[in-house]
Amino acid sequence: MSTPEERLSELGLSVPEVAAPVAAYVPAVRSGSQVFTSGQLPMRQGQLLLTGKVGGEVSLEEAVDCARQCALNALAAVRAEVGDLSAVVRVVKVVVFVASTADFTAQPQVANGVSELLGQVFGDTGRHARSAVGVSVLPLDAPVEVELLVEV
């Protein structure tokens, strides 16, 4: 059986290094058998992939890609906390915030970028409860932000 990192590699993806927080917090906290990530933005190599509102400057497809990058960044925070993604026994909850225009209502489709990736990486272990929330603005004008709660 392959590891989560091997499955990511098969998808042409990898878990990045943990990005430095943009304010006074830590990327993840472990409490007992649970790891809570802070909200992760769509950062790659220290830069936001895109800025703006989904349904405006950012298309649905671009937002899904941003959500996937947020998920990779959240997995990086989990891995930094527990040492190995193979320690994840369950993805419990995913929260996806989508900075969107007032008429954009496809937040669940944006969140699918996270959910589908977690399913590909963890299989049934990646099935989770989820919230997809439209908001007026996110830090740094990011279009998407993602939090994970995992059991280890």
Task: Judge contact between 76 and 18, C-beta under 8 A.
Answer: yes
**Number of domains forming the structure of the chain:** 1
Residue 18 lies in a domain: no
* Predicted structure pTM score: 0.97
What pLDDT, in 10s, does the model give residues 14-61?
999 998 887 899 999 999 999 999 999 999 999 999 999 999 999 999
Largest CA distance in the chain: 45
Residue 19 lies in a domain: no
CATH number for the domain harbouring residue 63 = 3.30.1330.40
Euclidean distance between the first and the last CA atom of the chain, given in angstroms as a whole number: 18
Helices 107-122 and 60-82 sit at what angle, rounded to 10 degrees?
A: 40
What pLDDT, in 10s, does the model give residues 92-109?
999 999 999 999 999 999
Residue 92 lies in a domain: yes
Residue 124 lies in a domain: yes
- Exposure string of 56-86, with b = 16+ CB inside 10 Å and e = fewer, is eebebebbbbbbbbbbbbbbbbbbbbbeebb
Gap between the Cα atoms of 141 and 138, Å rounded:
5
Residue 80 lies in a domain: yes
Residue 22 lies in a domain: no
Task: Judge contact between 138 and 99, C-beta under 8 A.
Answer: yes
Please state, as a whole number, how many other Cβ atoms lie within 10 Å of the Cβ of residue 3. 12
Residue 24 lies in a domain: no
Q: Give mean pLDDT, residues 73-90.
A: 97
Residue 78 lies in a domain: yes
Give the residue numbers spanning the domain of 104.
4-13+30-151
